[in-house]
Structures are given as structure tokens and as C-alpha cells.
Chains A and B, each alone.
Chain A
């Protein structure tokens, strides 16, 4: 990374970071960089930046750096960091808010993860519930992971643990309406 001039950078992104603080309800400036979040994070080993660094980016006005990180896509949302933070910064919620914003801006840190969640929500919108067999099929086909979990398929069917057909609910279109109403309010779904 090349050097950056922090005073002007912070001024430039101040409004956006303020908005992020409002959306998440979390004030990242409270963080004093102790690193406890990163020490306890079960996925930190696979991230490009540890959670502590993401919070630091926000303190310094380096919003784009945070939004383009793989970290926000790899966060498992387990809330260990939030529970352990001595300054009560809810880091997990910051990660979630950053990821929603990144998606809106078209910064997709991991195509397969994004594909999975899109397919999941499509299934919920269509059927009211998740259709697991269909979801796995979509994930494998479009993510080009053709043989993922295929060995588990037959035992799953034999044990009566997966249905080959989707189960739709009789909700008079209520769930579809929820998705529509969220879109009307600017939701990116």
C-alpha cells in the first residue's frame, strides 16, 4: 500500500463513515486497538485483514479499503469479538453493515459466498422456506463445485433427512410481499 495523507482522507470520507455509524449503531472511534477481537476470531487466520484492522480503517477514513476487503465476506457472524470487546464496540455488526454496503456498491469479495446467499433468499422468496436440495444444486452448478457434498446426498435421502421436492407454504403471497415491500424501501434484495 502506498502512503496516504490522513487529514484530507478523513475529511473526504467523514460523511460516509458517519452514515455507516448511524446504520450500524456502532461507533468505531471508541476502539483503542487492543486486538482482542482478532485474537478470538475463529476465521482471522483466513482473512486478508484481521477485524482490528477493519475498525482501524474506519477510524482513519480508509472506507474503501474496508469495503474491498475479503474479511467482511469471511466473517462468520459468530459475535465472539463483540462479546469480548472491552470498549463494547459491536464489531460483528460493523462487519455486517460493511458487507451490505459493499454489495450495494458491487464490491463482491467472494463470488461463491455471494451466490450462495442470493440463491438462499431466492428460495425463501419463492417457497417461503428454504429448499435445501435445490440450494445445494445451485451452489454446486453455478459455483463450479460440481462434486461438493455429493457423497452425503444418498445417505441424506436414505436417512429421510432431505426432501427432493421443495415445500411451499400457503401464505397467500405474504412472504413475496415482504420482499416487495423491502425493495420499495430501497432494500438491495
Chain B
């Protein structure tokens, strides 16, 4: 399968592990990723809070380049995905909007190239028996709290999974031998917009609730599909711990890193050593169990 690949701004900086692990697992799973040449920022979230047309036009340029190449777009970042999907839907729903957007971007985009979430694509690619041969290590011992966040499965009209109780990441991790916990904060907002912009005090209390819920559910790690959630849950975990004088010690993973680990890819190639909350002890535990429980 071949896709146009839209990494988005975060994946070349704060979310670099997501990019590294995505490219690594795509190779093993036989997914060809063609990076959209000279792609631009999708504008999330500043554009859609400033001007409706700008918010639709910025992702449209990327989609137009992919459409020219005859490809759907694989998008790892939940925010980029949500904004690109909104453009695809707007163009398909209204001829007038299609015309306006084409005039603004000065390119042709007919709404044929679809924006697709990387989680959905990876989930599809591992269906069937062939994947069993590819599993090198079962992720036994991982009790993951799958954190989908807000933009991956909302709005409901365009979601590929249930907006209140999504299951796709849980099912993916089960396939590779990890346990996932039932918890009620799967799609709760992480407050990234407030953490990064100007209201850290709001973000900190939102984050605290998520860490406590994951801990109470018996999770030993969090798993995400969004670089903004990752940054917030990982980098700011220490801040929240300090603020409330407590310890959560919950490593945070991108789902692609865990898939990569199960496929036998070296942890450093997946960026697992780049986390703020040290993920390596838990990774090492999983690797040490490998002998007895190899797939």
C-alpha cells in the first residue's frame, strides 16, 4: 500500500520519535510512505480560531499535492488529521466551497485524496495471519492506558472509531501481546492548547486527572497517537508531579513505538531513548521477558 505522508511540524521537532517509529514500522509492514514535497503547516489550532477559510485552505494545499500524485494521505498527528479531514469534508459537501478553496490555494483539489489517521492505517495493515510471522517480541507485562485524546475520534460525523469509547488502539496492542486497561479518560482533552499558549494552570489540573485515572485503572504506561498529547503527558508530567508533590512515573509511548518494539526494531531507532519520563526501564523489562515468551 502506498500513501502520501504528511508528518506535520511537530514530527520534525518535539514529536521526532513519532516520525522515526512511523517510518520504521511502515518499512516492516510494507506500507510505502511518500512524503508530500514541501508540505506546509496545517494551521492547527491557531488558524481555525482565527479564520474559517484560512483553516480550510492551509491543509488543502497539502491534500492537493497528494491528489495530484493520486494518493490518500497518512497523517500521524491527531490535530493535523482533524484539520485535514475537515477540509476534505468541506470540499466534498459544497461545490461553492470547493471552488473558493481552489481559488485561494491556486491549485486544484477535488476532494478525492482522503485524509486518513495513521492509527487506522496501521490497524488495517496488521489484520490477517501474515502479521504473526512478523512479531518478534510479545509486549507481555505492559498494562497500557490507551489515550486517544480529543481530535482523533471527534467530531463524530467523520470519526473512524467510537467517539466515546474507541477501541482501535486497544485492539492493535492486544495483537502484539500487551494488556490494555479500561478507563474513562480515553478521549478526555489533555489541555495541550492551554499548556502551550498561555494558561498552564488550567492544563496542569486537566493533566492531573488523567494521570490519576490511569494509575487507578492499574496502568503502567500511557499510549498516545498525538504529538501534542505526548508532549503534554510526557514532558509536563514532572511539572504536574512537582505541583502536586506526588509521583506518577508513567512512561508515555506512541503506539508506533510499541508496534516497532514488537516487530523487533531497535529501541533507539524508534526514539524510545528520547522521552522525558524514562521509558527504557519498562522497555528493558519487556525485552528481558522475550526469551520465555517469544512469539
Give residues in A with beta carbon < 8 Å to B.
23, 42-43, 45-46, 74, 76-80, 82-84, 90, 92, 96-97, 99-100, 103, 110, 112-113, 115-118, 120-121, 124, 128-130, 132, 139, 143, 145, 148, 152, 155-156, 159-163, 167, 169-171, 174-175, 177-179, 181-182, 185, 187-189
Within 8 A of A (CB), among B184-208: 187-189, 191, 193-194, 196-200, 202, 205-206
A42 and B191 contact, CB distance less than 8 A: yes
The answer to the question of B155 belonging to the interface, with a C-beta cut-off of 8 Å to chain A, is yes
A82 and B154 contact, CB distance less than 8 A: yes
B105 and A174 contact, CB distance less than 8 A: yes
Hey, which chain A residues are within 8 Å of B9, CB to CB? 129-130, 132
B39 and A46 contact, CB distance less than 8 A: no
9 A-B pairs whose Cβ atoms sit less than 8 Å apart in the complex: A42-B188, A45-B205, A80-B189, A121-B43, A121-B50, A130-B41, A156-B14, A169-B39, A182-B51
| A interface SS class | helix
Smallest beta-carbon distance B232→chain A, Å = 12
The answer to the question of B46 belonging to the interface, with a C-beta cut-off of 8 Å to chain A, is yes
The answer to the question of B284 belonging to the interface, with a C-beta cut-off of 8 Å to chain A, is no
Residue with the highest number of chain A CB atoms closer than 10 Å, among B13, B14, B105, B194: B13
Q: A79-B150, A80-B150 are in contact. Are A174 and B46 (CB under 8 A)?
A: no
Smallest beta-carbon distance A86→chain B, Å = 13
Q: A129-B40, A130-B41 are in contact. Are A117 and B49 (CB under 8 A)?
A: yes
When C-beta atoms are compared, the residue in chain B nearest to A79 turns out to be B154
Task: Please give me the 6 A-B residue pairs with the lowest Cβ-Cβ distance, nearest first.
Answer: A112-B198, A78-B150, A78-B189, A79-B154, A117-B46, A116-B197
Within 8 A of A (CB), among B138-181: 150-151, 154-156, 163-164
Give residues in B with beta carbon < 8 Å to A.
9-10, 12-14, 16, 38-41, 43, 45-54, 57-58, 61, 100, 103-107, 150-151, 154-156, 163-164, 187-189, 191, 193-194, 196-200, 202, 205-206, 235, 274, 276
Give the distance in Å from the alpha carbon of A175 to the alpha carbon of B48 in the complex: 16
Give the distance in Å from the alpha carbon of A162 to the alpha carbon of B46 in the complex: 20
Smallest beta-carbon distance A78→chain B, Å = 4
Hey, which chain A residues are within 8 Å of B16, CB to CB? 160-161
With contacts A83-B155, A181-B105 known, what are 14 further pairs, Cβ within 8 A? A42-B206, A74-B194, A77-B49, A79-B155, A82-B155, A100-B49, A117-B46, A117-B50, A124-B40, A130-B9, A160-B16, A163-B12, A175-B40, A178-B57
A74 and B150 contact, CB distance less than 8 A: no
When C-beta atoms are compared, the residue in chain A nearest to B275 turns out to be A159
Hey, which chain B residues are within 8 Å of A139, CB to CB? 197-198
Q: Which of B40, B151, B206 contacts A171 (CB 8 A)?
A: B40
Hey, which chain B residues are within 8 Å of A181, CB to CB? 57, 103-106
Give the distance in Å from the alpha carbon of A112 to the alpha carbon of B14 in the complex: 22
Q: Which of A43, A103, A117, A178 contacts B202 (CB 8 A)?
A: A43
A120 and B205 contact, CB distance less than 8 A: no
A74 and B202 contact, CB distance less than 8 A: yes
Hey, which chain B residues are within 8 Å of A80, CB to CB? 150, 154, 187-189
B53 and A182 contact, CB distance less than 8 A: yes
When C-beta atoms are compared, the residue in chain B nearest to A181 turns out to be B104
B191 and A100 contact, CB distance less than 8 A: no
Q: Which of B13, B48, B57, B205 contacts A162 (CB 8 A)?
A: B13
Q: Which of B14, B40, B198 contacts A110 (CB 8 A)?
A: B198
Hey, which chain B residues are within 8 Å of A163, CB to CB? 12-13
Smallest beta-carbon distance B152→chain A, Å = 11
Give the distance in Å from the alpha carbon of A188 to the alpha carbon of B46 in the complex: 13
Residue with the highest number of chain B CB atoms closer than 10 Å, among A90, A155, A159: A159
Hey, which chain A residues are within 8 Å of B14, CB to CB? 132, 156, 161-162
